[in-house]
């Protein structure tokens, strides 16, 4: 079945440690996205990527880093510089319909809940 997978489902980290969240999709989608979700708030965009080896900062990129070495993979690293990393992290992807301004709707993975101890 085609879809988006995120691992692990739950992740615990000590303060000062970097941690990497995995996101893989087998939908052959061009674009991939990382969002952060906090209680009572909408999703906020961290980073996004339209093509391999290219990515752009979203609204809250500070303290995070990404890579896009393969079309199907878009890992997110939460660094020790992120001051409040405890949150629910969601990965999404979408396919392009035409030029870089034309995409279909985004589909989401099941999420990773990160807790900093």
Q: Which residues of 44-72 are buried (b: 16+ CB within 10 A; e: fewer)?
A: ebbbbbbeeeebeebeebeebbbbbeeeb
Q: Out of 56, 57, 70, 115, which residue is the one contacting other proteins (CB under 8 A)? A: 56
What residues between 4 and 23 interact with other proteins by CB under 8 A? 4, 6
- Residue 85 beta carbon to other proteins: minimum distance, rounded to whole angstroms: 18
Residue 101 found at the interface with other proteins (CB under 8 A): yes
Indicate whether 100 belongs to the interface with other proteins (CB under 8 A).
yes
Query: Cα–Cα distance between 73 and 93 in angstroms, integer?
Result: 10
Of the residues 66, 90, 114, 116, which one makes contact with other proteins according to CB under 8 A: 90
Sign of the Cα torsion 6, 62, 15, 115 reads: negative
Pair 6, 111: CB distance under 8 Å = yes
How far apart are alpha carbons 11 and 22 in whole angstroms?
A: 11
Closest approach, Cβ 14 to other proteins, in A, equals: 23
Q: How far is the CB of 60 from other proteins (least distance, A)?
A: 9
User: What string marks each residue from 34 to 53 as x (binds other proteins by CB under 8 A) or -?
Assistant: ------xxxxxx--x-x---
């Amino acid at each position: 079945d085609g879809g988006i997978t995120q691992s692990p489902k739950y992740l615990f980290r000590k303060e000062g440690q970097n941690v990497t969240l995995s996101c893989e999709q087998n939908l052959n989608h061009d674009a991939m996205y990382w969002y952060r979700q906090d209680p009572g708030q909408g999703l906020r965009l961290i980073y996004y990527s339209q093509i391999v080896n290219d990515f752009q900062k979203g609204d809250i990129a500070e303290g995070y880093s990404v890579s896009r070495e393969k079309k199907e993979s878009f890992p997110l690293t939460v660094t020790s510089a992120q001051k409040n990393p405890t949150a629910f992290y969601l990965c999404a992807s979408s396919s392009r319909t035409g030029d870089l301004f034309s995409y279909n709707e985004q589909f989401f993975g099941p999420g990773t809940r990160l807790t900093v101890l």
